[in-house]
Structure 1
Amino acid sequence: MATPPSASTFADLLRGEGVTVVEVGDWETHNRNHMGPWGPVHGVMIHHTVTKGTSATVRLCRDGRSDLPGPLCHGVIGKDGVVYLVGYGRTNHAGLGDVDVLTAVKAETALPADNEADTDGNRYFYGFECENLGNGTDPWPAVQLLAIEKVAAAICRHHGWGERSTIGHLEWQPGKIDPRGFTMASMRERIAKRLGIDPSPVALPKPTKPTVDLSKLIAAAKSNPQAKGTPVTYTGVRTVEAALVNAGLLSKAYSDGHFGSSTVIAYAKWQRSKAGGSFTGTAADGIPGKTSLTRLGNAHGFDVKE
């Protein structure tokens, strides 16, 4: 179990690693602790901001948005390599992610695919937002990458962690792409070297198929987002929608994690198809059943749980 250091110690350990640190306002007490606990901490998470301009980026990450109150991270890493501390404690940076990823981070083993969003990452991770548009072409200056390396190494060194305790947002939460423009594998190699660790390759775990829970999928399908009330959401919907996209039955634009009318229509087409079971009439209503879902899973690489 790792307990976060005091705010002043946190700033000092970053400076001790050679990081240029700017303390922004009341960052030491600016947090979301009233919304839930922060800690024990298990790792460092790296993000990109999708913003341009350091001042505006720092302001956004400190204050947040109307739909997502700040702080949105502990520190902002500018393109010039300066780290702006904007909050300390629980911050709105990680959101829900995969418990299997958290388990791997704690054990410092190779990361599995993030295919669930069931665990509060804001509780367990330090978060750093890096100024970048995230479009794959906005450059990452060498001084900025070096600052990311130093920040992660400083925190890992303090807690006695290795480089595998640093992950990207894209490795935590399904659907996320940040940071985009460099690989987390290459960043972990840099962190390992700074920590004096041999970043020797670790055998990757055997790939596992995602599993779709039939009862949860049916509940999501019967709660159409266009109907009244709050729609049921379930991450397995994305797996099924991806399969329907691959089968040419659903536009990728409607692969959004909600079993809405477009997904219902696409699934009904699958039920009526020979591969899906050649169902007709009310049996092809777009609500998944065991036979059609199992056949979809067999064709597109997922298992079905009843």
Structure 2
Amino acid sequence: MKHPDHRETIALEAAEVISHQAFDGDQYILRLQAPECATLAQPGQFAHLSCDPMLAMRRPLSIMRVDAEKGWVDFLYKAVGRGTRLLANREAGETLSLLGPIGKPFTFDPSRPRALLLGGGVGIPPMVFFAEHLKNSRDSQPLVLMGSEVPFPFTGRPSRIMVPGMPDGVIAAMPLLDDWGVASRLASLQGYSGCFEGYITDLARRWLDEQNDEQRRQISVYACGPHPMLAAVAKLANDYKLSCQVSLEEYMACAVGGCAGCVVKVQTPEGAAMKRVCVDGPVFEASTVF
């Protein structure tokens, strides 16, 4: 069996904890010194981290940012189970075992330069990474929409970037993206100031309705988040006849394709097939999964 090309780039390294910030809603941003991963990582990929010496099983975390020159990698995660709660206790100066980067990344379509990035909850990190990648490309015009039902792991602020077609009053943005010159807007059902009151797919639909046919022909969709959200994104893309890539979230054991514990049914030209999210994904064409 031929392995995906990206399996050849997986590195195993001892990664030192540089910083570990806690945010409301049991959310954390972990920065690790992992120069091999930082050099090789692409938007949409993840790493498999050891959480604690007493816990054998690793946990997969999406990569949020990297600095190849300084050699660090950032992860945003939510402590929801035993593994991530143990990980939350790790402090600066400690060392974790990191396996990565792993998986098939997002692929930008230059024929559709208006990239609509949708990140929900712990699906936000790949969108930040992808946005940073796209901001350096003259061929792309990214718009990032983020949704969360717990406080965002940053303090939103009124955006300095106009986004024609946005509903009135929807002005909250991620400061980091705003500083990069990348347009972003936030959505939630929790009544946060400046946010759209609803799901990000509802906000995306409102914005898409304001675009003309020629503008919509230039839009491609990229998304990461919980399964119900991705199903809604796939429907949205189908309704507007937009190309769409989604990054799936699944429980994993080995994360390198050996155990086949993270398989999903995917439609291929030859018919339905079971694909491993870890190495055949995590990024798939939305129409093949939903």
Q: TM-score range by the shorter chain?
A: under 0.3
Q: Give the TM-score of the pair, scaled to structure 1.
A: 0.25
Q: Determine which structure has the larger strand proportion and give its number.
A: 2
Q: Give the TM-score of the pair, scaled to structure 2.
A: 0.26
